[in-house]
Amino acid sequence: MFLAIIIIIFMKIKLELCSMTKVICKQTSMCGDCGVCLMKSSTNEGYCESKYYHDLFVLNPPDCSIKDHCSDNNGKNKCLNGGICKSIFGGYFCKCKSFYHGQNCELKSGKGKFVQ
């Protein structure tokens, strides 16, 4: 029950942020993941209209794009040793290259070692 209430609160916050004031847009990508660029027939201008956004935990106002959790403050990738970083709900994960593991691919696995 408690988890359901928390999810509903996050959804309400997310939908409120996604339905921010209409923003004039010149191309569809300006509206981010949260909106759709619609054209005004009378003025030949576009504006961003909100749409449902499924990510409950990650926001990057004002365009509702997914926040980049992969770069540190210096712009460096958090995944080491050639790992590939992916931003996810409220954080990130690293897909490590062969023979590396750990949250940031910082640990080296020896040849033939099994890593759980």
Helices and strands in the chain: count of H runs, count of E runs = 1, 7
Domains of the chain: 2-50 (no CATH), 68-110 (2.10.25.10)
Check residue 54 and give its pLDDT: 39
Check residue 86 and give its pLDDT: 87
Tell me the pLDDT tens digit for each residue of 13-40.
444 444 444 455 555 555 665 666 666 6
Residue 84 is classified by DSSP as E
Backbone angles phi, psi at 17, to 5 degrees: -70, -35
Q: How remote is the C-alpha of 38 from its chain's centroid?
A: 23
Burial class (CB in 10 A: 0-12, 13-18, 19+), 62: middle
